[in-house]
Amino acid sequence: MSVLELVGISWIDSKTGYIWAFSSIGRALLWHRRGKGFDPPKVHRVVDLSLNNVVKIELDDSADPTIETVQRIAKTLEVSVDDLLKK
């Protein structure tokens, strides 16, 4: 049986690495960004999005980002758009 760990507010199966749910795109961005070893300034430079907006998205403190922004973030983090939008 796998051990489940609470990370932020998402459950991760430590045996399979399966992420059960992200509560928001911000949590998904934070998870994948940290997994790639990126800091917010690197994401903002590569995605061409203000640092303030990157932080606001991660904190769920902004309006929903556009699909174009989500696509650029996904490409930068080498994940699919679905990986960022899954709930």
Encoded amino acid at 38, one letter: F
Lowest mean pLDDT across 4-8, 26-30, 55-59: 4-8
Domains annotated on the chain, with CATH: 24-85 (1.10.260.40)
Rg over CA atoms, the chain: 13
Q: Which residues contact 73 (CB under 8 A, 6 or more apart)?
A: 29, 43, 47, 49, 65, 84
The whole model's pTM is what?
0.68
Phi/psi region, residue 8 (left: phi>0; alpha: psi -120 to 50; beta: rest), is: left
* pLDDT tens-digit series, residues 11-29: 555 566 655 556 678 888 8
